[in-house]
Structure 1
Amino acid sequence: MRLAEDYAPLDIDLASPAPVDRVKAVMTCMVDAFETLRRIPGAVGPKQPGSGWPAIVREMGEEYSFRSADREFQRALSKAQISRMEEVLAWPAQFLADEPLAADALNLWAMCKAWGRSIDGVLQARAKQAADIARVVEREINERRGVQRKAAAGEVAEWANMKLATADGERVERIRANALIRLERELTSKGLVHAAVIVKPAECSPDKVISRTSLDRWRFVGARVIADSLN
């Protein structure tokens, strides 16, 4: 169900001098475009790779069956309506190339509104996916670090053993102390001082909106940029 505070009806002029009206009108157009897309049967978007369709469609389109669309609605669709849908869905890619978070937030919000999907549910699924990826990346990184730290320690140990083979008395203690210093320097130079690192989910998915607060902030940013560009 549409809420007035979310987005405005389609009869609002995008060229209106009122910024809020223009921003809401952009969001309305985005939702209606996704509603039209939902009712078109067949595959989502063009088949050729590298299409200009929103990434969110390719990301989530497989979860839906577009072939059970409203046939009465399909018959009522005109070429102009289809053309309008394609034009609107291209807005984020066209006007928000420098604001990927804004483009993603606006697309995700509009799609969820049109397709009756829980925004929080999508964000939670994304967060889980990012966390799973982060754990895999973290494990791989720390395994490599472990091998590198072991190799560095082995080189220092080899150096120390050569020195100790002919050392006695106070020299033995100096060699051992120097070995620790050499190892610390070696690990520092290679960024291996800490045995393990922690990889955060956001580091693995920097182009995704992973909180509802940021999504709401960025979708308004995106809609405003598009409204200003169209105006």
Structure 2
Amino acid sequence: MFKYTLLLLSALVSAALACEPECRHGLAHAFAGFYGPVVELAVGDLQNTFSNTLFNLTIPTQISATVPDDVLRTGVTNGLSDTLQLFVNEATGKPLEDGIFSVMFSEEKPFKGDCNHPARLTRKMPPTGESWYREECVKMDYICGNPPSICHFLDDVKDRIVRRIRTQLEGYATFDNGFLVRNVVQTVKQSTRGVMEKYGAGSMVNDPNVTSFINGLISNAVRSLDMWAALDVKQLCNRAHETEACHGWDEQIIPEILKWP
């Protein structure tokens, strides 16, 4: 009987703890869904930066005599658009969710730990199938491991997530092996050469003037990435046109938070 009681207690404890990782990953996934459009807004800024700065140089006569300027610009721009879409898929996937999980549950002031000392609520969790109440969200005024605490500090959670997104985007754009740097450089090379080959000018790629032009495009692209990281990314969620995407969904995320035990 004693052994049975121990096994039962062990099972109950396991059941109580089993939801904890599920809840954490569920919330990280939910927040990632709301921040995907924010990343897309940032990438839209980068697309505009490319459009304004990439072709700020003279196209060599060897190329312009064979390839129409607008066709070359369109070919490179379309190539970069495809690359940026791939980047959106990358940046709004697992890296975004993992970053959100870390800033909420693994790093400074994680939402973990005992929520009963001091006690703020009259229950440790809602009955199965029910959610926490909004008033419990208001009462749970210190950081600990229950959903009302996350709800109470929602603005802090959002600030943490935005800071992490900025850091991740800067890394993609500024490190030599970052996704954006690596793929943008490759795209500029390949799309420029692809357009030239299509117009029968592929043999010119080794011409010094053509090589210098392609290198100039690459330099402009890298400079555009630097500008974007230094200006647009650092201001992400601080600008009026981003208000709805960054801040307009509290009433949708709060029920998602409070539904977890």
Shorter-chain-normalised TM-score: which range? 0.3 to 0.5
Structure with higher helix content: 2
TM-score norm. by structure 2 comes to 0.32
TM-score norm. by structure 1 comes to 0.35
For the pair shown, the structure with the greater C-alpha radius of gyration is 1
